[in-house]
Structures are given as C-alpha cells and as structure tokens.
Chains A and B, each alone.
Chain A
C-alpha cells in the first residue's frame, strides 16, 4: 500500500479532537511554518510541491496564491467545503474525521497569503462535518492556533465557519462569495477574478477543503517529498471517491497516475465490479465530467491522462457503471440534478436543462423520437460554452459523451420503448 498523505491516521481514534490530532503530529506544521517560513517562502514551497486544486479545475495552488492582487484592501481566504458534486464525498470525510487537519491547512494558507480573516464554507447538508469543523475551530482558538498573535508569531487570524443553505451552485467560487456576502447564490462575472476583486471586494483566495488539508504534510515533509508522489505534472496523492457498481465503494487515497483499473479492481480498493459483472462505463471526476467507456479502464488517474482520454479528473468522484446500467436512465438522473440545481441566472442553463430533462424523460419512458437524439446534442451545443458559468457545460457532459458512446441505447429506447440492457428487460426476468 502506497504512503497516505491526507488520510494517514484518518481512522485513528480521537483524531477529531485537538489532543488526538496533536498526538499524530497535528499543528507541528503550523508552528514550524510560523517559525521557519516567511509567507512568500510558503507560497514558493507550495508552488514547488506541484500541488493542484482538488476541487475540480486542478489549478496549481501556489500559482493561484501568487496571483493575489497587491493592494491595501483586506484579503480573504475561503475554504470551499461546499462539496456537492454528485459522486464526491472526500471533503466530508476529512471534515468529519479530521477537522483539525483542515483548520491547520486554513491557517497555513492564510499565513502564506497574508489573510487575517478566513471563511470555511461547509455544505449545509453535511451537518456532522459542520459541527466537527466548528468544534475544531473553537479548540484551535482556545489553544492559540487561531486568534491574535498565533504562537507568538505576530500573525493573527480569525476563522469563521459558514453553512451553505443547499445550492450546488454555491460550490462555484464566485457564487460561494455571493452567498457568503448574504446574496443569492449567483456566479459573478469574471474578470475580475477573485484574486483581484473577491469577497467584499478584497483579493481573495479560494481553495478546496482537500487542497488545504494537504498543506500540513507538505510543510512537514517538504515540497520534494510531496512531488515524489504522482506524476511529473500531477504530483502527490488524491482521495478518489469510488461509488457505483463496485464491491467496496469508499474514499481511497492513491498517488496520481494510478490506473483506474487499480482503483476499481484492486482488493485494497474497489475490489471489483459488483456481482463481477462487466464494466460498462466510468465517470472519472464527478457527474460534471465526460463519461468514459470501459476501454479506458487502464487510463492513469492524473490530470493529463484523463484529459487525453477525453474527460477530466474533476472532483475525484469516480462513478462505476456495470453492464446492466441503462445509460439513458443514468443520464436522465444526472440531468435532473442539473435542472434542479441550475441557479437560473443565465438562459441556456436555466431553460436548456429543463428542456433536456423533458426530452430524456420521454425517451427513457418510451415516448421519444429518433430526432430527439440529435436534438439533445444540439441543445447541448447551445448550452455548452454559451452559459454564464461552467455549470451549464457540466450539465451537458454526460449527455454528449453517452450519446457518443452508447447511441444505440438511445435509439433502442426510441424504437422499442424500453431499456436495451439490464435485468429489468431480459427474457428470463419478464
């Protein structure tokens, strides 16, 4: 088993308490950083580690920090823990089991970025995670890790927990800021980017929960150590959220570059496809990423390889579908999600996801037309690249990729009025 970085000791009893966390080296990175590093040196260190954002876009973290506008406005850090991407549940685990790891990461990033107020935006539905992080913040305040003059360094920081009210869009960084400021969760126009004009108009760094939780290990062990994991351009490890038709769904931390096959089939991880059925398709990075066919099972799980295979590493949510999955049904389910979660700000996403759902629904239920399939593709084209924020593009990924890979299933649905695959329609069952 390869070395774990973020999930090391994750199941250690008491890790969620300050004492438990300290017993496993907690806050060592912080005291070392405050003593040994100037903020700019930390930025350089993280740049050198090659750490890339774990939220979905995979932007290099250190570079993001160095883009912060240098002006006299108040800077902010927002931890994006509004984990809402279907198929993704890693941040939830970190917050529930090791909340101090996140808090330490938040403090480190704040120190590196000259931030004196940091917000942790936790998805509202993650009630336990919210409580755990809240308690961790309280403990950290009491222990002097947060507050005025942290560990005598002169660095002061306030950390504020904010619970989301239940909108997928608030995981989009600019909508997250709108929401934090008390407004409707609407994405903002970019530019200006948050690094220039962000929360309350100040330069703002927004990092994913897992990204921040990786920082203590990098500081404890060094950039070279971290970069020794993974591939050249996708360094380190990632927590992959394995779900769907596998024997052992769950969170597995693996070095980037590990083949999908290992994650699904290795006994330490997925342990194989459920009921040992045939693998049909994989969503590699949450429901917003393009579906890959079973032929891509040997693709290494790193940013570049997954992109080359025609999808994205995204949020790390790997969804496995076996041969009995009706792809139309699966895509309908995902599209309903995007219809319900569209914020409504822009026309293509708001109206398009509604229309797509209606059409998928009628195809799935045997009322579709053959022309519907091309219509779906064209509606997707009218949404993708035309919507205000990437949510519109995301809504189309599963549709376009599934039609490309499994067009015959759509046609079958239209012609036969039922699913082409699955136990529900086999002769023996009916």
Chain B
C-alpha cells in the first residue's frame, strides 16, 4: 500500500486483538495479519473472492445472519470479529464433515499427505469423527487431464481454485467444472485440451491431492523434502521458486511468491524443466582429448593442459588469438570472473556471448544500456502494451500472465508479429506482418509518430533526417505489408501518441532477423518520441532469453563493453566474427553451445576448452571438457529481465566430480599464475558492487529472499544525453 494511505487505515478487532488494515482488506487477510488462522479452500489471495467452500466462517457483530464468510467480507471501521465462537466452530466443523463424507482414506499414498489443507484443517478445525456411515462415492482414479496433470475426483473437494485459475488468471479455460450438485467434477471442456503452459499452478493451488503432477507422483513424502528458496533458471523472468530436494535430487519446483516478479506463479517449463539437473548424462569428470578421443582426466591434468596450451598459443600467436564465449545462464559472479580471466589474465579483448543485436552498448538517444526501462509490475499500470516480435507465452511465460492482469484492469494489447501468438485472441489489434518485418514495422511506427503534430513540436531533427533517408525503403515495406497492416500500424502510432502510458516490448532475438538491425534503437526512439520512457506505466525494452542474459551484458561479456557498460580500450571480435575468424586459435566456451548457432568452429582453431554440465555438441569437439554444476548446486546472483538482482542458492551438494564455474575459473587463473583470493561467490559480488554502477552497494545479504531491483547509480556526465532526456520530458 502506498504511503499516503497509511492514515486511512481501517481499525477493527478480531478476537479482541486490534488490527489496522487498508480499506478493502478482507476479514480473512486482516485476521492473518493478527496471527489468527482462518481456514480457506476456495479463496486464494491472488484471485477474487468466491465464497463457495464455506470454510472461513467468522461471526461479526451487528451483521445479520451469523456466521459470515471472512474471505468475502471487507473490513469496516469498528468492526468486531470473533473467530472462535460456538456458532463459528460448529459451522466450520459442519463444512469439514461435509467435505469428508466422500473423501477417500488414501492419505498414506497421497502425494499431498503431510502438506494437505484438508488434513491440516481437519486437525485444527474439524470434527474428530464422522457421522457418515454410508458408502463413499467412487470414481475411477486417477484420470489424466493432460500429459502433466492427473485428476483424482474422489479426493477433489470442488473448491474451484484450479478452474478459476484457468478462467481468471491464465484465461484459457483449461480446467472447467462439469455437471452440477453432487455430481459436479473438475474436467476439461469438450474438444478443449488442458495444454496450458501454466497448468502446474493448478496442481500447486490444489488444497488436496486431487490434482497431482505426473513428474512428482509417488516420488516423495513432503516431510522428506528439503526446501530451498531460489530462483527459477529457465528464462529471463527469474520467477522466485522453492527447490524441493530429496537426497540430492530435485523433486519439484514450487512457486515462492514475489509480487514484483512472478506474482505468485510459475510456468510448467520452470516448474518441471529441471531434468538437466538430475540427468544421468551430467559430466562427472574433466575430459581431455587423447588420440582423438575424449578421455577422463584429473582436474590437475586438465588445468595443467589448459595453462600450458593457453601460454603457448599466446606466445606463438599473441593473446589476441584467444577468444572467450560466455554464458547467459551462469551467475553474475561467474560471468564477471570469466571476462576478467580473459581480459586481465589472458589479455584478450575477444569476449562475447550469444545475444540479440544491439548496435552499441548504450542506446545513443537515451544513453541507457539495453534493458527494459519499466519494471514487470509497471506492466499493470500501462494503458497500452505493444508486443513487437515478442511472444512471452512461449519465451517468458509468466510475463504473459502479467499482461493478462494488465488487460483485466483495462490495458489494450497490440501485437505485431509474423506468427500467431497466444495473446492474439485478447489483442485490441493484431498486426500480422511478413516474415522478418518487425524492423520495417518499427520504422513505419516511427515515421507516423514523427508526422504527428505533438511530435512535430519537438526538435528531433536527427531522427527525422534518419527516417527520411529510409523513406524509400519504408515506402517499399508499406507496399509489401499491404494496406491492412500499414493502416493498423498508423492507428497504433496515433494511439501511442495519445496513450497515458504505453509499454513497448520486443524479443531480444528478434533483432537478429534480417532487416531488424535497427529494431532496438528504433523502438527506443519510438518510446522517447511518444513520451513513454519515464511516465508511470510506460517503458520500452527487450525481453531477454535466459535467466542471466541481462547479467551477462552487465558483467561485460561483450566485445565492446567492460562491466557496467564501461568503454573498452580495444574492441574485441563479436560472437559470430570470433566463431569464423581464422585468427582465433584458442577458444574458451563456458556454459554455451555455439554449434547451435553456427555450422562450424573457427577453421584454424588449435585448442578448445568447453566448460559445461553435459557433453554438448561443442563439447564433443573440445580438447578439454570441464564439468560444471547447475544453478541448483551453487550460490550466486542473477539479473532478470527487469533488472532484479536475485540470489540463487545451492539446494543440492555439487555433483561429485563437478565444480561450480567460478571455482573452476579461480583455479585456471591460479594455473596461469594469477592468485585470486575469492573463496566464495559473495566475495566476487562485493568486487562487482564496488565497481559496477548497476550493482553499487549490493551485498549478498541485501539480496535477501526477494532480490533487489537495481538501476544505474551514477550521474550521467554526457551532457548531450542529459539534454536529450530533458527534451523528451518537455
């Protein structure tokens, strides 16, 4: 709640405990604040009240017909609530008795047993026995509602959390209620698959063992699990997750609500995509190529070989003959050490990683590095959301839910894409463009905006000149796009000019498509021109691919920028150039698989080091392979798409034989004669915090459970940039 609301708090007493809460708070939430448990099944704090399960009874003085439901009643000034009266206790017992009459007694083999709300509330609020002496209802069980989710209708208490998630949150009606009354059951609508990328949330929300995950069924008892707060490693959103581990194996990921990032949800990719951690294909020992074959070696042998070959190549060809390709999935600390090893220890400028195309480290117009100028939560405040060549459902799934939430509070969605996307059905306008047309579409938008009267009042001469110089190409593109798309784009440009706050998002990788080299810069310009950078609910930026894509950039895994986007003395070779240059004789690849993006490695390559968790296509060609560990086996920080720096924490012991990347890097530095004194990732973070203006003052402790959204901590000394920013505000 915002500060100005603090003096508007509503005062009430619950079981004689005074509570002050913001207006609109439900009695249930107020009680929770007072430390009083009111049992709930149908209610879920992220969804509107339903009032169906009739579990959360309380008695409120002066209200008619006691008891009332706490999850549907907002607080009011002077309200007197009782949660333990005779009426309340009887009503709750009654509801639990009803829920239990047909509930099976298969708790011993139920996945939920031990973390089941029906068990727990029965213990605390329920009757000790049952008066139901008839036969329980039986269904065949379980039945699959999707490949990933099984439904046990006998256990279902019909609280409707899952079906409401489907209708209210994921808005795909994957699960629905079928039939009515005592024959009612959860199921899928005819000819409608429950294939939502968000399906796992229904399993997690299920208060009983009715919905279970095929990935977790019968794997563990909840009390055997070690629960470690961490961050999902699957995409750039960085959803907070709890890693549940049993004997050094990940059993499941659960959501760990962070309102600023995931809003309490986790997608199926993140939730169940941890097989690579438990995989039997993991590397458990360093490998060295002998007689053309990769064979197991000791760490000492591997480090020794690396150090001697690096030295000899540097001696023969110069350090410039060595290149490094870093990772978008290792921690900030590891990315930082990687570039430090290459730049400072080995002495080469050739460092890069696989990423989208951004012309220079910082946008020339705003002076900002390439990252979303808005936060994820800001999306909810937008009046218009433009997705250009972006498909969050497939690439950053949880952002799709945030956009839907924004839409429910009135935001209009515009989609510019060559393919169909999941959000199309909700779009105010879906602008279908030809393949690789995003770059031209951005230019058309810019052109229309520059022609607008409001924009004309500003002096954007350079931009105008630039667009005018492209005029012929834009006209040709308009011809190619056709009347419909062109008109839609013009309307969108007009809409953006008049919007109260628009957020313009594009996929990082879309910039790599032919004709899209200016996409990032043009969209940034579009946002500046339409005053959509600084206002509430406005913003622009790339949607990154991987968990630490943005961190990799921040840490200087770039040929043209040092950590913190500081200027390099000497520009190194970029990713594709490095991978095709005959001058590159040695390549160090950490946590990346370039053969996914290029046909072959540099033709004159003499020595290849690959550090990874599995034997990738690239690793198969390596001279030395170093076994690393996954996000679940180490500590460190990662930076998500809206620049939340978050801590990942080791949930398992490192796979025997493998080491965290940062430890390997420290060892290699040592073999190369450099004595680095880092004993833990936190030491590296301190060094980053001291030098990188985006991480200024950060400590491991400050990252806490929910991370910190950091921004650049320095005065922009480029007066030109400051002036232009001023112009954009005017």
Chain A interfacial positions (CB closer than 8 Å to B)? 167, 169, 184-185, 189, 339-348, 350-355, 358-359, 362, 375, 381-383, 385-388
Contacts and interface: CB of A to CB of B under 8 A. Distances in A.
Contact of B52 (A340, A353, A381, A388): A388
Contact of B134 (A352, A358, A388): A358
Q: Which of A341, A344, A351, A358 has the most CB of B within 10 A?
A: A351
Contacts of A359: 134
A342 B53 contact: no
Given A344-B181, A355-B132, A386-B54, 7 more contacts: A185-B180, A342-B181, A344-B158, A347-B52, A347-B158, A348-B54, A385-B65
A277 B512 CA distance: 92
B177 A339 contact: no
A184 B182 CA distance: 15
A353 B54 contact: no
Contacts of B183: 344
A346 B180 contact: no
B54 to A, nearest CB: 5
Given A344-B158, A388-B51, A388-B54, A350 B181 contact: yes
A354 B135 CA distance: 12
Contacts of A386: 54, 57, 67, 91, 94-95
A346 B94 CA distance: 13
B52 A345 contact: yes
Contacts, number: 92
Given A347-B55, A358-B134, A388-B51, A341 B181 contact: yes
B189 to A, nearest CB: 11
Interface of B: 49-55, 57, 65-67, 72, 90-91, 94-95, 97-99, 101-102, 131-132, 134, 157-158, 160, 177, 179-184
A185 B50 CA distance: 14
A339 B49 CA distance: 25
Contact of A189 (B49, B66, B97, B180): B49
Given A354-B182, A386-B91, A347 B134 contact: no
A387 B182 contact: no
B94 A382 contact: yes
A222 to B, nearest CB: 36
Contacts of B157: 347
Contacts of A362: 134
Q: Which of B55, B65, B183 has the most CB of A within 10 A?
A: B183
A167 B97 CA distance: 27
B501 to A, nearest CB: 24
A389 B95 CA distance: 15
Contacts of B50: 189
Contacts of A340: 181
A341 B184 CA distance: 11
A352 B182 CA distance: 9
Contacts of A382: 90-91, 94-95, 97-98
Given A347-B55, A351-B102, A388-B51, A339 B182 contact: yes
A353 B182 contact: yes
A352 B54 contact: no
B126 to A, nearest CB: 13
A345 B181 CA distance: 7
B51 A189 contact: yes
A360 to B, nearest CB: 12
Contacts of A354: 101-102, 181-182
Contacts of A184: 177
Closest 6 CB pairs of A and B: A382-B94, A344-B184, A351-B98, A342-B181, A354-B182, A344-B180
B164 to A, nearest CB: 11
Contacts of A358: 134
Contact of B51 (A339, A346, A352): A346
A317 to B, nearest CB: 22
Contacts of B131: 375
21 contacts: A167-B180, A189-B50, A339-B182, A341-B181, A343-B181, A344-B158, A344-B179, A346-B52, A346-B53, A346-B54, A347-B54, A347-B55, A348-B54, A348-B95, A351-B99, A355-B98, A382-B91, A382-B95, A386-B94, A387-B54, A388-B51
Given A351-B102, A382-B95, A388-B52, A343 B180 contact: yes
Contacts of A339: 181-182
Contacts of B158: 344, 347, 350
Nearest to A357: B182
Contacts of B102: 351, 354
A157 to B, nearest CB: 30
A429 B67 CA distance: 50
Contacts of B55: 347
Contacts of A381: 90, 94
A344 B182 contact: yes
Contacts of B57: 386
A348 B181 contact: no
Contacts of A385: 65-67
Nearest to A361: B134
A342 B182 contact: yes
Given A346-B52, A347-B54, A355-B98, A189 B67 contact: no
Contacts of B91: 382, 386
Nearest to B184: A344
A353 B182 CA distance: 8
A184 B186 CA distance: 13
Contacts of B53: 346-347
A381 B183 CA distance: 23
Contacts of B132: 355
Given A184-B177, A382-B95, A386-B91, A351 B182 contact: yes
A185 B184 CA distance: 13
A344 B177 contact: yes
B188 to A, nearest CB: 15
A385 B57 CA distance: 11
Given A386-B57, A387-B54, A347 B98 contact: yes
Contacts of B101: 351, 354-355
B219 to A, nearest CB: 31
Nearest to A184: B177
Nearest to B98: A351
A354 B102 CA distance: 10
A94 B91 CA distance: 42
